[in-house]
């Protein structure tokens, strides 16, 4: 009887842990987007060194490109996420959502509705964005 209770407790713990993963990565994603809008230099801690950041225009940025363009070419005024679906598998997560981006790119302001896929990896210091691709919704 004690063995059965121990097994049930272990299974319950595994289910609880797996449910925390998606909410943790979604929280990191939302904080990352907030920092994009604030153009805050601490955003660097949320970005993996191997970043591939794809825009709906076809522009693909590395980590260096992304950080440089955030300071000079792209100004995010707001990012609103909807219909968020997050899946975690070990140290990798994918997050899909519909986003409305109010931004200025090379001096032209526009509001764009996008379908976005972000891939996040779990590192020692938390979740980091590894890849992102967007298409117009």
At 1 the pLDDT is 54
Number of domain units in the chain: 1
Pairing between β-strand 47-54 and β-strand 126-136 as defined by DSSP bridges: parallel
Beta bridge partners of 82: 98
Beta bridge partners of 85: 96
Model pLDDT for residues 97-128, shown as the tens digit of each residue: 999 999 999 999 999 999 999 999 999 999 99
CA angle, corner 115, sides to 24 and 110, nearest 5?
110
Residue 35's CATH number: 3.10.450.50
Cα gap 23→39, rounded to integer Å: 24
pTM for this prediction: 0.83
Model pLDDT for residues 47-65, shown as the tens digit of each residue: 999 999 999 999 999 999 9
Tokens 């975690």 map to which residue? 88
Taking all residues of the chain, what is their mean pLDDT, rounded to a whole number? 89
At 21 the pLDDT is 81
CB neighbours of residue 87 within 10 Å: 12
Which domain does 23 fall in, by range?
A: 2-136
At 18 the pLDDT is 43
**What's the Rg (C-alpha) of the chain?**
18
At 6 the pLDDT is 46
- Report the percent of the chain where pLDDT is more than 70: 85
DSSP, collapsed to helix, strand or coil, labels residue 87 as strand
């Amino acid at each position: 009887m004690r063995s059965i209770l121990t097994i049930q407790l272990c299974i319950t713990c595994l289910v609880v842990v797996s449910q925390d993963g998606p909410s943790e990565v979604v929280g990191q994603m939302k904080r990352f987007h907030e920092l994009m809008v604030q153009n805050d230099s601490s955003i660097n801690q949320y970005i993996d060194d191997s970043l591939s950041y794809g825009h709906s225009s076809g522009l693909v940025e590395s980590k260096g490109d992304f950080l440089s363009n955030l300071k000079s070419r792209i100004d995010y005024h707001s990012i609103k996420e909807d219909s968020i679906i997050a899946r975690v598998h070990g140290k990798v997560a994918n997050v899909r959502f519909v986003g409305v981006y109010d931004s200025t790119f090379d001096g032209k302001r526009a509001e764009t509705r996008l379908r976005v896929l972000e891939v996040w990896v779990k590192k020692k210091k938390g979740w980091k964005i590894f890849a992102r691709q967007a298409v117009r919704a």
